Amino acid sequence: MRGLFSVKSDIYSYGVLVLEIITGIKNTSYYPRSSLVEQVWNLWEEGNELEVVDSSLGESYHVDEVLRCIKIAFLCVKEYAADRPNMSAVLLMLGSNADLPDPIRPAFSLERSNNTEDSSANVNEYTTLEAR
């Protein structure tokens, strides 16, 4: 958002890409009134997160896997780059059945939270796993 690019901005982009794959919709389809991340987040908050799944998939997906991928995507699009996982941690999350933290409001939001206590403890949990 500030024009600074880093590995962590690539992680943000990866999170958006995951949501594009799940929904079958490009993020740019929502611009300028909102973003794909915002649309998926709003449905997540309402408990209607499965409404975002691309209808062309029919019933050919595992609900738990889709929900896990949405959670991982939300971890990747956290507002503060330092709170986003690195790609090694993302791979661990994708390849394991370990519990994931509940998502918090992503960076898209116009109603940004003033809560800067969004600790990176959950991300560090995966970084610690990575070191093992």
Question: CATH homologous superfamily for 7-109+117-131?
Answer: Transferase(Phosphotransferase) domain 1 (1.10.510.10)
Alpha carbon distance 27, 38 (integer Å): 10
| The residue to which tokens 């971890």 are assigned | 75
For residue 117, which amino acid is it?
E
Domain map (residue ranges) of the chain: 7-109+117-131
Q: What is the pTM of this model?
A: 0.75
73-123: pLDDT as tens digits:
999 999 888 999 999 999 999 999 999 998 888 876 444 444 434 444 444
Q: 104 Cβ partners below 8 Å, 6+ apart?
A: 74, 78, 113, 118
Long-range contacts of 51-60, Cβ-Cβ distance < 8 Å, separation of 24 or more: 52/19, 52/22, 52/23, 53/22, 53/23, 54/22, 54/23, 54/24, 54/25, 55/24, 56/24
